[in-house]
Amino acid sequence: MVPSRSAVDDEIAGFRENATKTNSLVDRLKAITLPDPDDAADDLGRYVETKKRADELDAKIAETDRLIDEIVYDLYDLTEEEIEIVEEAVAE
């Protein structure tokens, strides 16, 4: 059975009253909520600090790796030629 007009009250075919409303681009742009510039600046500052710490840690890790390599080369008494062979093999 199809509901009669009185059964759907003030709705058309069971849709909300504003279901057929067309929002213009201007209306949608007005509805956009932009982030607070201060919050964005704080977030950017935290990101920059975190990136700086990460870069410092990467540099420390690279230096530690280099020192470990030197110790291993000394322990095995490798020549410069042998060290080059090992480093080329590891780089691949």
State pTM to two decimals: 0.56
- Specify the 3-state DSSP secondary structure of 52: helix
12 - beta bridge partners?
15
pLDDT-above-90 percentage for the chain: 54
Contact 73, 83 (CB under 8 A): yes
Q: pLDDT per residue over 41-67, tens digit each?
A: 999 999 999 999 999 999 999 999 999
- Looking at residue 87, its pLDDT comes to 95
For the chain, the structural domain boundaries read: 5-91
Is residue 9 predicted with pLDDT exceeding 60? no
What are the φ/ψ torsions at residue 33 (nearest 5 degrees)?
-100, 115
Which amino acid is residue 57, in one-letter code? Answer: L
Local structure of residue 12 (DSSP, 8 states): B
